Chains A and B, each alone.
Chain A
Amino acid sequence: MSRSLFEKVWEMHKIRKLPTGKDQIFIGLHLIHEVTSPQAFSMIRESGLKIPFPQNTFATVDHIVPTALQERPFQDGLAEKMMVAIENNTKEFGIRFFGFDTAKQGIVHVIGPELGLTLPGLTIACGDSHTSTHGAFGALAFGIGTTQIKDLLATQTLSLSKPKSRRINVHGNLGKGVYAKDVILAIIHKLGVNGGIGYCYEYNGDVLTQMSMEERMTICNMTIEGGARMGYVNPDQTTFDYLRGREYSPQGDEFKRAVEFWKSISSDKDATYNDVVNLDGAKMEPMVTWGINPGQAIGISENFPEVQSFKEEDRQTAEEAYKFMSFKPGKSVKGTSIDVAFIGSCTNGRLSDLREAAKIVKGRKAAKNVKALVVPGSQQVASAAEREGLDQVFTEAGFEWRKAGCSMCLAMNPDRLTGREICASSSNRNFKGRQGSPTGRTILMSPAMVAAAAIKGKVADVREFLD
C-alpha cells in the first residue's frame, strides 16, 4: 500500500497502542534546553527514575544566554541559576551538553541540523514548540511540555495521538525578493493560526523541492504558528548533500546505507492524505504582519485590512490587534516607522539568512533612529559568517553583531523592547509582549526585509533594494 513519510515513520516507531487508545512512540532524538527541562529533571530525581537512552539525548543553552557579555557568572542571577541547573543535570545523567566552551552552542533548532543530529526518518522531540523545524529533513519533529520531557527521559517514548495528514503544495517559482519566510507567512495567512490543529503537514511542490535545507527549515519552523504540531519535507538529494560530512551524520559506508534508508521513507507517489491544499508561489510577494498573531499578515504592497473584511469570528481579534498596534485600517503598511530591527532566531538566524540580509545592508547605513541587532543562531553560524566578513558588513552599517542565542525573539535575556517600540523582526511570533515589553510591538518579516526596514527606518519593500 502506498504510504506517506508520516505513515511510515510513525509506524516504524510505534511500540504499541496504550490502554488509553493513544500510541506509544519511540523518540530517536531528544533535544533539551534550559527553560523547559529543569522541572523535568527534578521529577526524574524525585521519582528515582533512570534515563535508559542518554545517548539519544543532547542539550544546549539558548533562551536565557546574554548575547553581549557572556562572562560567568551572568549578571542576571536567575539566568545563572538556570545555566548551572542544566550543566549539573546533564552531567549527573550523562547527557551531552553543548555549552559555550564547545563552540557548538546555539539555538537548539539551529544546532541539531548543523551537527548532523537531525536526520531523515527520525522522531524528534524537544520541550519547545519550534521543534517542527527539524521536519525539514523528513523527520517527525514536534514540541512537548515539561511533564512529557519527564516521560521521554524516563522511557525514550511518548504517549501520542496520531494526527491527520495534510499535504500543502506550493507550485511555481517565487519572484525576486520573496523568501521562505514569505511563503510560510502566506500559508499561515491562508489556513489561519488554528487551521492546522490535529494535523501533520507535508510541504511539497516545486517551490519546496527547489529550496535549500535552510529555507526548508524556515518553512517547517513556523508550522506550529499555523496550529499544526509537526510538518516535514521529503528528503532528497539536497538533504543528503547537506548531511554528508556533518559531525554526527553517518560516515563512509554507513552514510551510503543511510541514504538508501532515507530514500525508502519518502512519501510514495500515490500516497493519500486527509487533506490537500494548493498554493501558487508565483503570486506571493514579501509579507509582513500587522497584528498580534502570525496569521495577521499582508503583502507589502497591501493596505492594513478593514475589520469588516474578516470573517465574523475573526473580527474581535482584528479589533484587538488594531488597538494594540495603533495602526489604522486602510493605510499602507509600507512606510510604517520602526524603532528596532532584529535579525536572528530559529526561524531566520542561519548563515543564508545573514547572507541575504548582508546583501541589502552592504554599503548602506541603518537609519539613525533605529537600533539594529544581528544575533547569529549558533556559535558555528557566527564563526562562518565572520569568516565571510558578514560581521564587518553589518557593523559598518551600524548594526550590532552579537553572540549566539534566542535573544530578542522572546527576550528572556537582556535584549528586549522598551515601552511602545516597534520592531521589524525576523523571528516567528508577534504576540503581545513577546519581545519583552508588555506594550512593545512586533512586525514579522524576512531577514532581507528587516535589513531594508533598518535602512529606511520604516517598513520597506526589499525588492526596491535588489536589481
Chain B
Amino acid sequence: MKTKLKKTKAQKQGSDSPLDAMKIRTVSGRGIPLPGNDIDTDRIIPARFMKCITFDDLGQYAFYDARFGENGVKKEHPFNHPKYKEGTVLIVNRNFGCGSSREHAPQSLRRHGIRAIIGESFAEIFYDNCTAIGLPIMTSTRENVEGLMSLVKESPTTEVKIDLVKREASCGDFSIAIEQPDQTRKALTEGTWDSTAELLSSLEQIKAVAGKLPYMNGYQAGAKQ
C-alpha cells in the first residue's frame, strides 16, 4: 500500500520543539544487577498490588514478594541492598518481563527510580510497554551482561553510562555494545515514543482502510483476499 508520510505538528517544528524534552539519547546512573533468567511480571509486581486505578503508588511494590517475607521482613534482594540504593540502571539476564502484559511492571520499576534496563533478552510485550512509556531497554550478549553485572557488584558507585545513539554502554573502562531494534532506537532518540499523536495524524486514512475491511462493511462483494 502506498501512503504519504505526514509529519505531526511537533515534528515540523524546529529543534526547540516540545519533542526535545522527549528525546532520550543518553542515560547514566549507578547500576543494579539482578541475576536470573525468566523473571516474570508477576514477580516484578504481584497481582494483588494491581488493585488500583492509577499507577502512582506502584514504586514501593516492585519485586515485593522477592524483597519481603511474611510480616514485611526484608529478604536478600538487590533492591533491598544498601549498596544499590541509588541504582537506576537495571541489569538483567534472559527473557526478563515474561508472562502477563501488565504495564504495572514497567510502571512500578520506573516509579522505583529505574531509568534504563540492560539485559540478554526481554519478553516482547514488556519491551513494548517500556518503550511506550519512554523507559529505554536494550540487549547485549550474555558475556557482556555478566561482565557488566560483576563490575557493578565490585564497584557499585561507578556510573553506568548508556549512549543509545552510539549503541554502547560503559562502566569505568569497561564498554559494551548494546542493541535495540532500529525502530525503537529511533522512537526514543527522536522523542516519538509517545505514539498517540503520530497514529492520530492519519485518522482519515484509518477510516478509509476500516471502510474497506470486509467485517466493517457487511462482507460485501470484492472483499475477498
A residues near B (Cβ < 8 Å) are: 8, 11-22, 24, 26, 28, 35-36, 38-39, 42, 47, 49, 52-53, 64, 76, 78-79, 81-82, 85, 119, 121-122, 127-129, 131, 142-148, 150-151, 154-159, 161, 193-194, 197-198, 224-225, 227, 229, 250, 254, 257-258, 260-261, 264-265, 293, 313-314, 316-317, 320, 410-412, 429, 431-434, 436, 438
Contact = CB atoms under 8 A, between A and B. Distances in A.
A155 B199 contact: yes
Contacts, number: 236
A145 B42 contact: no
A14 B36 CA distance: 38
Contacts of A254: 218-219
A194 B38 contact: yes
Nearest to B95: A194
A129 B100 contact: yes
A24 B3 CA distance: 11
Contact of A19 (B38, B106, B192, B210): B192
A229 B125 contact: yes
B208 to A, nearest CB: 9
B121 interface: yes
Given A13-B213, A15-B206, A145 B46 contact: no
A18 B218 contact: no
A79 B102 contact: no
A22 B123 contact: no
Interface string B197-225: 01110110111011001111011110111
Interface residues of B, number: 76
B23 to A, nearest CB: 13
Nearest to B43: A432
B40 interface: yes
Interface string B96-111: 0011111110110000
B54 A42 contact: yes
A36 B103 contact: yes
Which 4 A/B pairs are nearest by Cβ-Cβ distance? Answer: A145-B129, A145-B103, A16-B3, A143-B101
Contact of A316 (B37, B51, B214): B37
A39 B183 contact: no
B82 interface: no
Contacts of B186: 19-21
B20 interface: no
B103 A227 contact: no
A157 B125 contact: no
Given A78-B52, A313-B37, A146 B183 contact: no
A156 B203 CA distance: 9
B196 interface: yes
Contacts of B46: 433, 438
A17 B219 CA distance: 26
Contacts of B51: 64, 76, 78-79, 82, 412
Contacts of A119: 215
Given A36-B102, A433-B42, A147 B37 contact: no
